[in-house]
Amino acid sequence: MLIGYARVSSADQNTDHQVDALRRADVDAKNIHIEHSGGAKASRPQLDLVLQRLREGDTLVITRLDRLGRSVLHLITLGAELRERGVGLKVLEQGIDTATAEGRAMFGMLSVLAEFQRELIVANTRDGLAAARARGRKGGRPSKLSPDQIELAQRLYDAKEHTVAQIADMLKVPRTTVYGHLNKRPGVKAIKSTTSGPANPAPRASRSCPTCGNEPTTRAEAASQRADLAVDWLHQDPDSPETLIVRNHCRHCEPGQPAFDIACTICGDGPILAGALADQAMNDTLSEPVQKWLTTAGWILTPHLLCPDHT
């Protein structure tokens, strides 16, 4: 299958030139994805959808390389990823086609450059962490919550008088941020079993993330991961837009923006929409597949959103 991708930097720019070129290259109109996005860090939901749709043996068709990559590094990494997945690339105006020996050679060069770049990043990161540890500093992303806010969130949660959504609203952070800090307070100890006599322990449930396979290495990480995995994320099936896929993510593979939180009016809990589903919901419109999914799951949609526990 030929899948086309066209991009311009703003909504008032015209994609007709790119679309016409893709049509002349025999790309079906229904398989052409158009993106209005600019900037190296801009969200590109259509590109994400294209990458989800591509299967082994398919070919991605674009007019120029700069329409595809956010940066040189992103372009090199993306080219290597397509090669590893068995997906072809055809760049119309620059004569790159992996169906030819020259095109395959170009893909091979992209793969080598990507591997070299990854090795540089790993080496630089290792050296930086070693230097930081020698100076008594810890690595990692700074927490969005201060120690006092984490303590407050834990107290409110333990008191069972506020939902996680209400606590997140008080602290003005996403719900998943609060989930990630619960049960991390120093001094929280596991309650020992009072059962006497020998007993056969229950089989230990897997703690690994079903999406990326991440396995927590400490109790604190395991507690945090369990809370993260308790949240259902709704994704659009790339092969069937009318079908939704429910996934559970740990903090390492949690989808980035856009994301939209569907919250029950009473308890504040509910699934989170990702990608194109979130884009539609941000326009105050829940798509028909989302409404159908919620209804099937027992939600009431009007006049207020109510989860099955509060219908």
Cα(275)–Cα(44) distance, integer angstroms: 9
Cα(84)–Cα(193) distance, integer angstroms: 50
146 annotated active-site = no
* DSSP string computed for the chain: -EEEEEEESSTTS--HHHHHHHHHTT--GGGEEEEE--STT---HHHHHHHHH--TT-EEEES-GGGT-SSHHHHHHHHHHHHHTT-EEEETTTTEETTSHHHHHHHHHHHHHHHHHHHHHHHHHHHHHHHHHHTT---SPPPSS-HHHHHHHHHHHHTTSS-HHHHHHHHTS-HHHHHHHTT-STT--PPPP---S--PPPPPPP-S-TTT-----SHHHHHHHHHHHTS-EEEEETTEEEEEEEE---TTT---SSEEE---TTT----EEETHHHHHHTTT---HHHHHHHHHTT-B-SSS-B-GGG-
Cα(25)–Cα(2) distance, integer angstroms: 9
Catalytic residue among 9, 71, 143, 240: 9
- Active-site residues: which are they? 9
